[in-house]
Amino acid sequence: MTGSSSRPRLALQGEKSYEWAKSRMKIIDRIVKDFSRPKALPLEGIRLGICLHITKETSVLVMALKALGAELALCSANPLSIQNDIVCFLKNQEVQLFATRGESYKQYNECMLKVIRFRPDIVTDDGAELHFMVHRFWDNKIGAGTEETTSGVTRLKELESKGHLKYPVIAVNNAQTKYLFDNRHGTGQSTVDGLMRTTSVFLPGKHIVVCGYGWVGKGVASRLRGMGAIITVTEIDPIRALEAHMEGYEVCTMISACSYADIFITCTGANKIIGKEHIDIMKDGVILCNAGHFDFEIDLDYLKSQDQAPKEIRPNIQLFSINGKRVYLLASGRVINLVGAEGHPPEVMALSFANQLMSIIYLAKKLDSLESRVYDVPAHIDRRVSEYALNAFGINLEYSTDRSFSI
């Protein structure tokens, strides 16, 4: 899409995107101001290795970290989500950045290695790929980390339970101000956005199956219903199934839903939620789409085994012909909100990244005093982020909370 654009033009576009996102992310601005007040910058001399989706919102976090004194190296959490204008802009800002949109798996790994060779003190990751690579190439230089996603935290906790975790990691995902808003409302909106941008399909009256009713599923179901769709939820957890039922969603098995559903969206974090046994009995013209972090929720191997040469209908729509039936796969089964749209809106990323920012400052201070465990975001940081947010949205609490605050 950007083939013929020259780099300076892209960098200029990137700067504008950065400015636009920044104007929507006042929380970050405010934190930078509050923590720059004393003479010493809190991240002076700290080296950061960052693996996040390279979006306009990430550029706001990166520039904030720089402003607080950090030196940093950056790679991408997903080769398909890289925004080239942001890459150019950040390079112009003298950020060490290793990422090219559409890079191969090998290049992608190479980029992560470059970030490790940068010898960061703290590693920030989205999905735990970088954390795992660090563990493989461990050289006891790295002091701490943060992790953005549910999937990543799950993987790190497994590592911890086996006694293999080699440095303290803050599970940013577990902050209330992260998962209550980012996972639910951020993914909810951006998944609807991704679905509409990719397909421009009409939502009112469509039967849409939301697989999984965690925070992501809750957000996606709620927003799609708000757009007029008729939602069915599938779940394996009985309490969540009951929650969905009482919110007025149809709850049934995948097999039952296949007979009538127009669209499926996976939100489980689990493997092959949509498999052969489902695809074989779906309706002609069905649309498959994934809102989870990894691309394994839909059985891509089965699809490819049935049609070796799927037709690319539009960008991010592949048509598989399976026994005379048309099955449309969106974004190659990758996360639809990032690949098919722009990821979470800036206002909600501001909440997640405020947790990242304050967690990194916290870690920088405590580098030597924490154990090699997966920590929750400290409660006082979580609460403080919510206060910054209310302030940015112009909302007054019933009682003012003028407590003094320090990380």
Q: Is 217 helix (H, G, I), strand (E, B) or coil?
A: helix
Binding mask 172-211 for a copy of itself (x = CB under 8 A): ----xx--xx---xx-xxx-xx--xx--xxxxxx------
**CA 267 from centre of chain:** 13
> Rule CB under 8 A: is residue 317 a binding residue for a copy of itself?
yes
The only residue of 113, 370, 390, 407 in contact with a copy of itself, by rule CB under 8 A: 390
Q: Is 37 helix (H, G, I), strand (E, B) or coil?
A: coil
Minimum distance, C-beta of residue 124 to a copy of itself, in the bound complex (Å): 22
Which of these, 342, 283, 361, lies nearest to 43 by C-alpha position?
361
Show contacts with a copy of itself in window 329-358 (CB under 8 A). 341-342, 344-348
> Rule CB under 8 A: is residue 389 a binding residue for a copy of itself?
yes
> Rule CB under 8 A: is residue 380 a binding residue for a copy of itself?
no
Nearer to a copy of itself, 116 or 350 (CB): 350
> Rule CB under 8 A: is residue 383 a binding residue for a copy of itself?
yes
Give 3-state DSSP helix, strand, coil % of the chain, rounded to 5. 45, 15, 35
Which of these, 183, 149, 193, lies nearest to 293 by C-alpha position?
149
> Rule CB under 8 A: is residue 34 a binding residue for a copy of itself?
no
Nearer to a copy of itself, 281 or 313 (CB): 313
Nearer to a copy of itself, 12 or 41 (CB): 12
> Rule CB under 8 A: is residue 405 a binding residue for a copy of itself?
no
Report d(CA 181, CA 175) in Å as an integer: 10
> Rule CB under 8 A: is residue 398 a binding residue for a copy of itself?
yes
How many residues lie near a copy of itself (CB under 8 A)? 83
> Rule CB under 8 A: is residue 227 a binding residue for a copy of itself?
yes
> Rule CB under 8 A: is residue 293 a binding residue for a copy of itself?
no
From residue 25, alpha-carbon distances to 40, 84, 282, 392 in Å are: 24, 21, 42, 8
For residue 207, which phi and psi values (nearest 5 degrees)?
-90, 110
> Rule CB under 8 A: is residue 281 a binding residue for a copy of itself?
no
* Block residue for tokens 């916290």: 362
* Block residue for tokens 């449309």: 328
Q: Is 103 helix (H, G, I), strand (E, B) or coil?
A: coil
The only residue of 100, 174, 256, 372 in contact with a copy of itself, by rule CB under 8 A: 256
Minimum distance, C-beta of residue 337 to a copy of itself, in the bound complex (Å): 10
Which of these, 122, 50, 54, 126, lies nearest to 90 by C-alpha position?
54
Which of these, 45, 291, 55, lies nearest to 183 by C-alpha position?
291
Nearer to a copy of itself, 93 or 256 (CB): 256
